[in-house]
Structure formats: C-alpha cells, structure tokens
C-alpha cells in the first residue's frame, strides 16, 4: 500500500522538460538539396531580458541532411542548449521540393514522436523556404511569429485553408489537399494564394481571388469573406464601377451521380447571401438596379467558378473529395476506374447565385 502511494506521488515527474532549458524552434523549412539530400532550415526564438523590457531574437541554422530526423541531429550539434521542435508554429515546404518529390517521408517523424508540434501550420513558399526564414524579423515580430499570425489572419478571412501537420496525415486519401502559398514581396512574407496538390505533389497555384472562391466552393467559409467585383461592364475601369460584398451566409449543394453508362457527374451549386460593404456609385436604392447587380455578380462568379473547376481538373486536384463519395456510394465503379484518367473527364454543373440582403446604412 505504501509503495503504491509513493508511485502515485511520483507520477508525471520523470519525463518533465522545462521550457527554460529548451531552445525552441518557432518556424522550420524543408527544401530540395543537392544530390538527393534535404536542406532543412530552422529559426530558434530567444527572448532577451533587458532593462528596457523583453526583446525577441531569431537564430537561424541550415543543414544538409538525409532525413528530417537526421537534420534534427545535425542542428542539435550546432545549437547550444537543448534543441526542441515541440513548440514550432509553422512548417514551410519549398516549391521545388513539393513539385518534384513525395514530401510524406519527410513528415513521418512528426507522426511518430509524441512531442511533435502536430498543430503547427503548414504552407508552401515560392522558391526556397530558407530565403523566407532568413528574413529573421518583420517589425517587432520574429519571422516565426509573424508568419503564424499572417496565416491565421488569412484563414479568418476565408482566403486560405487551415492546414496543420496532423491534417496532412497520409491515411486519409479520399481528396486532395491544398496549402497556403507564400511569396516574398519587398522583403516581407505575403500570402499569394494557395498551392494545389495532386496526391502528394504540388501541381498548380490559385491567386488570392481564385482561392477565396475556391474556399467558398469547398464550403469552408470562416469568419469573414469579402469579394470585390465589377458592378458594370467588365471592360470599364472606372473606380466607381467596383462593388465589394461580404458573404454573410453560404448554402452549398454538392451531389455526385453516376449515369447508366458510367458517366460521373457533379452538381455544385452555391447560394451566397451577401451584404454590400462598398459601392462608390451609390446606386442601389433602386430595386431594379440591385437585382441587376445580383444577376451580374452571379454571372461573374459562375464564370470564375467554372474556370477554377477546369483548372483543378487540369491539375488533377480533387479538392472537393469526389473520390471519397465514389468510394463510399459507388464502390464497384471505384474499383474499375483509373481515377487519374477519369477525374479530368468528370462533368461539372457549377453555378453561383448571389442574393443581396443588405446594402449598409447608406440606403
């Protein structure tokens, strides 16, 4: 009895690791190295305590390694103190790496280590991740904190999906994932859109306007979703001819059917109930004008949605999870077809309907 009580009192102490003794990675990146090697870059965050207050600093290390775990060993040899990736906020993947290689082997160690940062956000960078990580600091924020906050704000505005290491687990392959796409503009990381994947390799990108509509078509609206479009003829460029809408509610119909002759058809309809948040021409007090604007926006967004679907099919990106529906409801057909060849031939019926519910306080 006494021994049991002593064991219970000791539980939880034997494997503790104090943060003050760790050198924590805030952002890490994986790039394609020479001769089949992996180039890994990490930024370690330190907090310097001075009389003027606390100040964040970054220490960047880059190594050439055979695997991700090997890279950790090499970085640990360069870093004073206990190196730890457990608090990493963002994992970046270089575009050359994800276009030319299967990235999953490099993520394997994250799924096996109990101390892995599975909630770390994942994004793709144009070019190498090392270039972005070596910026070190933007304003008062370290590059890791800045990139994490940037991705979070873009997720909240329905511009990019929220993807972390756990989301990318290779067991779920009924649909293709997409990742935020980062570029460096005037020395500062910027979200340029999203990177589309065909299975495990990146094949295409969408710009920011396309990625917002892609998110709505995927039924992934977050807190806000604003869209700016022409309110008149597309060929006119006057600044009065634009209108900005905020999507309040979204209703999505998504249906996958198989005809008697084994043709796969997808019905994708989106109904957006929106508020007008900017209308420089201020001409919506006439109902006829408002209905005309609804029709114009519906046509524009329908055309753009069809273009995005065609782009996805050319890229082999099944971001709506059509394969998952076929696996579940048409298993016999699924076993017979070659999905890579069949997906570009799938017939889509894509439509977007806009309904203006509010035009702001200026009626």
The pLDDT tens digits for 115-161 are 889 999 999 999 999 999 999 999 889 999 999 999 999 999 999 99
* Residue ranges of the chain that CATH labels 3.30.300.210: 218-362
What is the C-alpha to C-alpha distance for residues 343 and 334, in angstroms, rounded to an integer?
12
What is the C-alpha to C-alpha distance for residues 161 and 140, in angstroms, rounded to an integer?
26
- Statement: residue 53 has pLDDT above 80: no
Question: What phi-psi label fits residue 89: left (phi over 0), alpha (psi between -120 and 50 degrees) or beta?
Answer: alpha
Specify whether the CB–CB gap between 276 and 361 falls below 8 A. no
Specify whether the CB–CB gap between 321 and 268 falls below 8 A. no
> What pLDDT score was predicted for residue 6?
66
Q: Which tokens is 140 given?
A: 């008062």
- Statement: residue 234 has pLDDT above 70: no
> What pLDDT score was predicted for residue 282?
64
What is the C-alpha to C-alpha distance for residues 288 and 340, in angstroms, rounded to an integer?
47
Q: Which residues are within 8 A (CB) of 121 and not within 5 positions of it... i.e. 6 or more apart?
A: 89, 90, 91, 148, 151, 152, 162, 163, 164, 180
Indicate the length of the chain as a whole number: 363
> What pLDDT score was predicted for residue 326?
94
Q: In the CATH scheme, what is the homologous superfamily, with its name and number, of domain 218-362?
A: Nutrient germinant receptor protein C, domain 3 (3.30.300.210)
- Statement: residue 301 has pLDDT above 70: yes
Closest CA to 34 of 67, 78, 69, 65: 65
Predicted confidence (pLDDT) per residue in 311-333, tens digit: 999 999 999 999 999 999 999 99
Predicted confidence (pLDDT) per residue in 240-289, tens digit: 678 899 999 999 999 999 998 889 999 999 999 999 888 777 666 677 87
Predicted confidence (pLDDT) per residue in 163-220, tens digit: 999 988 766 678 899 999 999 999 999 999 999 999 889 999 999 999 999 999 999 9
User: What's the pLDDT band for 363 if we cut at 50, 70, 90?
Assistant: very low
DSSP letter (8 states) at residue 23: E
What is the C-alpha to C-alpha distance for residues 213 and 305, in angstroms, rounded to an integer?
7
Q: Which of 11-15, 52-56, 337-341 has the lowest mean pLDDT?
A: 11-15
* CA end-to-end distance (rounded Å), the chain: 78
Specify whether the CB–CB gap between 159 and 208 falls below 8 A. yes
Predicted confidence (pLDDT) per residue in 1-21, tens digit: 666 666 666 555 656 666 666
- The overall pTM is greater than 0.85: yes
What are the start-end ranges of the E strands in 161-233?
Answer: 178-185, 188-198, 201-207, 226-230
- Statement: residue 362 has pLDDT above 60: no
DSSP letter (8 states) at residue 307: H
> What pLDDT score was predicted for residue 359?
76
Q: Other C-beta atoms within 10 Å of 337: how many?
A: 15
Query: Token match 């889509």: residue?
Result: 348
Q: Other C-beta atoms within 10 Å of 66: how many?
A: 12
Specify whether the CB–CB gap between 211 and 305 falls below 8 A. no
Arithmetic mean of pLDDT, 92-99: 96
């Amino acid at each position: 009895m006494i021994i049991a009580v002593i064991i219970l009192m000791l539980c939880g102490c034997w494997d503790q690791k104090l943060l003050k003794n760790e050198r924590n990675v805030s952002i890490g990146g994986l790039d394609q190295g020479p001769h089949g090697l992996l180039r890994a870059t990490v930024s370690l965050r330190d907090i310097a305590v001075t009389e003027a207050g606390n100040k964040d600093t970054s220490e960047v290390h880059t190594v050439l390694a055979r695997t991700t775990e090997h890279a950790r060993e090499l970085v640990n040899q360069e870093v004073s103190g206990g190196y730890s990736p457990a608090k990493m906020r963002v994992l970046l993947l270089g575009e050359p790496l994800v276009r030319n290689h299967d990235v999953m082997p490099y993520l394997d160690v994250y799924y096996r280590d109990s101390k892995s940062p599975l909630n770390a956000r994942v994004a793709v960078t144009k070019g190498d991740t090392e270039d972005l990580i070596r910026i070190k600091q933007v304003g008062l924020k370290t590059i890791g904190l800045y990139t994490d906050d940037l991705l979070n704000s873009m997720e909240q505005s329905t511009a990019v999906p929220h993807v972390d290491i756990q989301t990318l687990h290779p067991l779920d392959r009924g649909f293709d994932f997409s990742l935020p796409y980062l570029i460096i503009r005037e020395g500062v990381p910027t979200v340029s859109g999203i990177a589309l994947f065909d299975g495990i390799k990146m094949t295409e990108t969408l710009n920011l306007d396309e990625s917002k509509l892609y998110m709505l078509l995927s039924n992934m609206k977050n807190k806000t979703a604003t869209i700016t479009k022409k309110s008149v003829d597309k060929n006119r460029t006057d600044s009065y001819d634009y209108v900005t809408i905020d999507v309040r509610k979204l209703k999505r119909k998504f249906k996958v059917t198989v005809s008697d002759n084994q043709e796969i058809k997808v019905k994708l309809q989106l109904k957006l109930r929106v508020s007008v948040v900017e209308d420089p021409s201020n001409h919506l007090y006439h109902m006829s004008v408002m209905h005309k604007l609804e029709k114009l926006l519906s046509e524009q967004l329908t055309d753009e949605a069809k273009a995005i679907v065609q782009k996805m099919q050319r890229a082999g990106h099944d971001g709506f999870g059509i394969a998952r529906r076929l696996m579940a409801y048409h298993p016999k057909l699924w076993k017979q077809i070659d999905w890579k060849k069949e997906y570009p031939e799938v017939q889509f019926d894509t439509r977007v309907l806009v309904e203006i519910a509010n035009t702001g306080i200026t009626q």
